[in-house]
Chains A and B, each alone.
Chain A
């Protein structure tokens, strides 16, 4: 089945540690996105990529980094510079920028 796979479902980070969240899609979509969701808040955009080897900062990029080496993959690294990383992270993709975005089932990141 076509879709977006995020892994792991749950992740724990120690102080000073970088962690990487995986996002893979087999929808042949060009555009991919990373969002952060906090309780009682809407989704906030971290990074987005319209095409392979290109990505742009969203509204809350500080403390995060991404890469887009393959069309189907858009991993997100939460660095130690992100002081409040506990959140639900959602990856999305769309065929083109003006088409609806479809989401994976998220990764919940917590601090040890």
Chain B
């Protein structure tokens, strides 16, 4: 079983739809949670960065973390064709003072999203 599971899709929605992207994980030590957007032949671009459980909103994007269920989500409201990309979730354990943690990210395999006009 992979440490982070993400439905690869592909996911196709009409413009204006609400999109829900999800990841589940098995490592209860994960504390930092990220969503990246990756366009074709480009590097991932950081969209959202959250620590521990809760919600975070940025414009049309909302990230949710439920540590009790080991489940994170990214919601995109009023989706646009320009949102068409691969969305990657990533997470890390972090670490305390004097620890050996280096911020290693564990990624999901990515969900391919297409928003059609």
Which residues of chain A have a CB within 8 Å of any CB of chain B?
A: 4, 6, 31, 40-45, 48, 50, 56, 58, 90, 92, 94, 96-106, 108
Given A90-B44, A100-B46, A104-B43, verify A42-B108 contact (CB < 8 Å).
Answer: yes
**Across the two chains, which residue of chain B brings its CB closest to A56?**
B102
- Determine if A31 and B43 form an interchain contact, defined as CB atoms under 8 angstroms apart: no
Question: Given the complex, which residues of B lie within 8 Å of A90, measured CB to CB?
Answer: 43-44
**Across the two chains, which residue of chain B brings its CB closest to A102?**
B46
The bracket for how many chain B residues form the interface is: 20 to 34
Question: Given the complex, which residues of A lie within 8 Å of B6, measured CB to CB?
Answer: 42
Interface residues of B in 6-30 (CB under 8 A from A): 6, 8
> Please, how many angstroms separate the alpha-carbon atoms of A28 and B104 in the complex?
19
- Determine if A48 and B49 form an interchain contact, defined as CB atoms under 8 angstroms apart: no
The answer, among B4, B92, B104, for a CB contact under 8 Å with A58, is B104
Can you offer 30 A-B residue contacts whose CB atoms are under 8 A?
A: A6-B43, A31-B102, A40-B8, A41-B109, A42-B6, A42-B88, A42-B90, A42-B106, A42-B110, A43-B88, A43-B90, A50-B102, A56-B102, A90-B44, A92-B43, A97-B101, A98-B32, A98-B94, A98-B95, A98-B101, A98-B103, A99-B103, A100-B46, A100-B49, A101-B105, A103-B43, A103-B44, A105-B41, A105-B42, A106-B41
- Determine if B43 and A45 form an interchain contact, defined as CB atoms under 8 angstroms apart: no
Question: Given the complex, which residues of A lie within 8 Å of B107, measured CB to CB?
Answer: 42-44
Which residues of chain B have a CB within 8 Å of any CB of chain A?
A: 4, 6, 8, 32, 34, 36, 41-46, 49, 88, 90, 92, 94-95, 101-110
Given A98-B32, A98-B95, A100-B49, verify A42-B4 contact (CB < 8 Å).
Answer: yes
Question: Given the complex, which residues of A lie within 8 Å of B109, measured CB to CB?
Answer: 40-42
Given A40-B109, A42-B88, A43-B88, verify A101-B103 contact (CB < 8 Å).
Answer: yes
**Across the two chains, which residue of chain A brings its CB closest to B109?**
A42
The answer, among A44, A98, A100, A105, for a CB contact under 8 Å with B43, is A105
